[in-house]
Amino acid sequence: MERLLLTLGIVAFFLLCLWGMWVGWRRKARSQSARIAPFPEIPADPGEFQLESAGVYLSTTTAGNWQDRIVTRGAGLRTGAVWRLHPDGIAVERGGAPDFWIPRSSVTGVRRDSRIAGKVMGTDALLVITWRLGESELDTGFRGDDLDDYPQWITELSDHDIKGGAQ
């Protein structure tokens, strides 16, 4: 009888912890939806893509704060993804979560990194794009299947910055 009560107590504690995490996630999403603009949708005709990489969308965080995950409107879901660089932006196509568009004019930086909310690597195996969304500056992280694509992404997006496209 004591074991049954102990087991029920542990299960109840575990369920209480899960409920607390769920409530916290929902509260954070509500708070962020008031301060962070909706992510842009991919245009109907974005043009031919210049570069494509498959991998995993990891997360979007506030810029410079790698642990402050954005969870509103499905942005907090880690999913398989394909990133496509088009002349006017980046199409982030995610399986099982809303796709979104990063306008090329809003990109303020691109880099390799070793960490973003939900993923820490021993090497600079993540591609992180810093961009502006309304009044917010965000970092969006991606772990590509082929790390050899990263220099092309960095060159393409950095060249755009130098030409005065991003502000």
Question: What is the average pLDDT across 22-33?
Answer: 82
From 16-25, 38-47, 157-166, the region with the lowest mean pLDDT: 157-166
Whether the pLDDT of residue 77 is over 70: the answer is yes
- First-to-last CA distance in the chain? 67
Question: What is the average pLDDT across 21-32?
Answer: 84
Where in the chain are the domains? 51-162
Pick the CATH number of 51-162 from 3.40.50.620, 2.30.29.30, 1.20.140.10, 2.40.50.140: 2.30.29.30
- Work out the mean pLDDT of the chain and round it to a whole number: 89
- Percent of the chain past pLDDT 70, that is, above it, reads 95
Amino acid at 10: I
Question: What is the average pLDDT across 61-86?
Answer: 91
Whether the pLDDT of residue 165 is over 70: the answer is no
What pLDDT score was predicted for residue 160?
55
With bands split at pLDDT 50, 70 and 90, how would you rate the model's confidence at 166?
very low
Q: Rounded to an integer, what distance in angstroms lies between the CA atom of residue 167 and that of residue 149?
A: 25
Note the pLDDT tens digit of each residue in 83-129.
999 999 999 999 989 999 999 999 999 999 999 998 898 888 999 99
Q: CA 90: distance to chain centroid?
A: 13
Secondary structure percentages of the chain, helix, strand, coil, to 5 = 35, 35, 30
Q: Rounded to an integer, what distance in angstroms lies between the CA atom of residue 68 and that of residue 75?
A: 12
